[in-house]
Amino acid sequence: MFRFTLAAVCFMAMAGSALPQDWKPVTEKLIIAEKPGSYNLCGVVVDHKNGDLFICLSDKGLYLSSDQGDSWKRLGTPFKGRTETPGCLMLDPFGGKRIVSAVVYGSPLVVSPDRGETIHLLDKKTTHLDWCAVDWSDPELKFILTLKHEAADMLLVSRDGGKSFKEVGKGYGPAWIFDNKTAVIAQAKSKANPKPGIVRTTDAGETVNSSGEYYAKALPRWHKDRLYWIVEGALISTADQGKSWQKISDLKDGRFGPIFGKSADHLFVLTGAGIVESTDGGKTWNKAIPMPKDFKGVSSNLTWVEYDPTRDTLYVMRMGTELYRWQRK
């Protein structure tokens, strides 16, 4: 009796976990039909309210699926270029309809006020960007921080919606803007700065001061009233615009996230071992969900993860691969 029960428990545990072959590609026909530029697929984001799925195809622009990738609709006008840094295709985290995307090798910063139906390109000075941070509280998006691609981690700031930019300096990484004056910015690791931290500005980038002794490479993520950040060896958060940080848990080799699910306690993070899941706000993590079989692990920092809480479905892609879907049974 004991042996039977143990076997049943093991079977149920396996049934609830993804295997590499359980991931299903959902962009094969779209890529063949649209013939995108280099690296094909280059970004994915999910509207967590309804499960709408947005992707970016290189040199083609944005596409929408409302049926988990079974069919696709082109959005707005095409634009040249591709995203590279995971997270650079962004939906308004406060529930609005805006989409913002930073691209390299093509168009300036892409802004849509209506979920991709119309596309606006900012000033040509906003071309060739690794990532961007905008003031989502401002309809005009006047305060922008961005990192110039292949420019020694040069941080640029705009206070006029991208019409002009000023160099903040080299040696920076991703950032988050809280309002028209306040932001937090990661420092890049280098020989000159082997122990980088997080800095904070309260004057729209005119000056910066230390905010925390953490090293971060991924874009931070907003949820409810807190900012979450994957840093080296840990997941941290702030509820006071970066004045102080709370360590939520140790986290080995975090790459991207967190991506939130059905509540603030339900989240996913991409790690070097695969996708880990927490149901207690990030305090503890389940065994990693493996990548699709042709990923051969998480071999680069260009892997994206998204989650649809309305259908309990995970999505994963790496720049240049298909978009894969795994729906929990």
Which one, of 239, 236, 243, lies nearest residue 202 by Cα?
243
* Residue 300 confidence (pLDDT): 67
Percent of the chain residues topping a pLDDT of 90: 76
User: Is the pLDDT at 5 greater than 70, yes or no?
Assistant: no
Element (H, E) at 271: strand 267-271
Give the angle 191-301-32 at the CA atoms, nearest 5°: 145
| pLDDT in the model for residue 299 | 60
Q: Is the distance from CB of 101 to CB of 43 less than 8 angstroms?
A: yes
With tokens 């971060």, the residue in question is: 216
What average pLDDT does this structure show over 258-267?
94
Q: Are 304 and 256 in contact (CB under 8 A)?
A: yes
Round the average pLDDT of the chain to a whole number and report it. 90
Would the pLDDT of 297 be above 90? no
Q: How confident is the model at residue 102 (pLDDT cuts 50, 70, 90)?
A: very high
Q: Is the pLDDT of residue 13 over 70?
A: no
The pLDDT value recorded for residue 1 is 39
Note the pLDDT of residue 64. Answer: 98
Residue 3 parent element (H or E): helix 2-15
Q: Say which residue, 10 or 209, is predicted with more confidence.
A: 209
What are the pLDDT digits (tens) for 130-168? 999 999 999 999 999 999 888 888 999 999 998 888 999
Given a cut of 60, whether residue 6 has pLDDT beyond it is no
Beta partners for 156? 146, 167
* pLDDT (mean) for 36-60: 95
d(CA 322, CA 41): 7
Does an H or E element contain 33, and which? helix 28-34
Buried b (16+ CB within 10 A) or exposed e, 60-75: bbbbbbeebbeebeeb
Cα distances (Å, whole numbers) of residue 198 to 183, 216, 220, 252: 10, 8, 12, 19
pLDDT tens-digit profile of 237-247? Answer: 999 999 999 99
Task: Render pLDDT for 190-239 as a digit per residue (tens, 0 to 9).
Answer: 888 999 999 999 999 999 999 999 999 999 999 999 999 999 999 999 99
| Ranges 18-27, 54-63, 115-124, 280-289: which has the least confidence | 18-27
Q: Which amino acid is at 48?
A: H
| 107 vs 122: CA distance, rounded Å | 9
